[in-house]
Amino acid sequence: MKKILALVAVAVLVAFAAPAFAANPFMDVPMNHWAYDAVGQLASRGVVSGYPDGSYKGNQPMTRYEMASLVARALAVVDMNKASKQDVEMLKKLVVEFNDELDALGVKVDKLDSRVAVLEENLGGWKFWGEFRFDAKFADEENGLYTNNGDTDFNLNRYRIWMRKKVDDKVTFTARLGQGNGNGTLRNDVRWDYYWIDVALPWDFAMKAGLWTMDWQDEDGLYTDNDALFTDRAHKGFYFARPFSMGEFAAYASREDADVDEVFEYGARVKFNFNEKFWVSGNYIQRDLDVAGGDLEDDANVWWAALGVNFSDNWAVRGAYYKEDLGLNVTTGEDKPAAWQAILDVKQEALGFTSVWVEYLDFDENFTALTDGPWDLYGTVTGTDLGNQYDNVLFVKLNQKWSDKWSTFQRYLSGSARGTGALIDDTTNWTVGVKYYYTPALSFELLYDKIENSQAVKGVDDNVVRFRTHVVF
């Protein structure tokens, strides 16, 4: 009996978020009774109910079925923003204690368990997760394509702590604290990489405000290696999105406060999913320069159209056409360069032993990426000045998952150099590697990577052996 009374007390505590002094609807509960406010709170949230004559009959003994019903109702209205760790632990005990009765009442205990799991994950409204990545590199060349200080580099290139706070049912705050020494030095540059709020607006609009990131090319599956051509960048501004029956519309406005270039950027995108097998998207980015004198000398923009066909869950082809307007940022050659892209994406489930990614891009002269080098995953391969260095690039990536513990991978790139000359030659890059999961969160990776004629410059070669320790939590 004492156990049941204790669990009832917990149910009262986790009726969360009801007004502190809710009106008591039952005529037989005296206002001076010690349980008056608790009964009123539970009744206002629908956790307890009285008899048809309007009475509560508080002195009448409770059956286990009635207690199970109370538990189910309490879990249905629990407020994850105000539940303490102790409350969640007691809720778990309630579910275990009254498992049979809840099942007899037709309440799915597994759904209650998942509800409690959500409470634990967002305890107090906060959620934390992160990533740690440490590389040991042993290159062939000193200060070459892989290292900055000698031919050996111990590199903490990713240390990220994400945090998210559910403020209320319409507002969520997200931030990422990052640290790294990507340039090979021993600096300890802890910084806030991102911080923004997500707001649910009327008419199904959603808004981001603050310092955030977006990656439209990733959403369309247009790259798999180091980076996108134009998206996957940090923005300080506003982002709006609205889904509709066949897809989504999105638009943003942001300002890039740099040491030299002051850029106002805005863009828009619409994507149509005609069915599960076919989609198209249209994308546009405009960059208006406020202060000249740096890398940009004029306004610039890019638009692209993309499409995808999913023959099955494991076979897909995608393509894209890109068109830039570089204005006065180029003085010779094509000032409105274009590029086109074709991708074959085959999952391992289709072939049984390996996945296959085949990607081909063809560039006009002066075509330039806005992000990091799209294939500079391990070292400097192509950079971003793609159209001045290459006519086209072929990239192939294979992955083999042998078990939950072991996997292997290979990648190959061939860049066809633009023009001829004693110092110009085609770029090649190939990689072989193996990955081992010591635990589901911790993995070790060993690879060999070789680059020949980096950025189409003859004789700029290097190779590296890299050992990575990677934790995701």
pLDDT, tens digit (0-9, with 9 covering 90-100), for 239-269: 999 999 899 999 999 987 665 567 899 999 9
Q: How far apart are CA 319 and CA 341, in angstroms?
A: 5
What residues does each domain of the chain span?
2-121, 127-472
- 406-417 and 390-401: which strand pairing? antiparallel
Give the DSSP H or E segment for 165: strand 152-166
Q: Read off the tokens for 211.
A: 């310092």
Comparing 143-152, 207-216, 328-337, 338-347, the range with the smallest average pLDDT is 328-337
Grouping H, G, I as helix, E, B as strand and the rest as coil, residue 15 is coil
C-alpha 154, offset from chain centre: 27
Whether the pLDDT of residue 16 is over 60: the answer is no
CATH of domain 127-472: 2.40.160.10
Grouping H, G, I as helix, E, B as strand and the rest as coil, residue 75 is helix
- Quick check: 328 and 299 in contact, CB under 8 A? no
pTM listed for this prediction: 0.75
pLDDT, residue 179, reads: 72
How big is the CA angle at 99 (ends 95 and 104), to the nearest 5 degrees? Answer: 130
pLDDT band at 422 (very low <50, low <70, confident <90, very high): confident
pLDDT, residue 184, reads: 43
pLDDT, tens digit (0-9, with 9 covering 90-100), for 46-94: 767 777 777 777 777 767 667 667 666 666 666 545 555 566 666 666 6
The CA-atom distances, in angstroms, between 368 and each of 129, 361, 413, 454, 458 are 35, 13, 18, 17, 21
How big is the CA angle at 300 (ends 296 and 302), to the nearest 5 degrees? Answer: 135
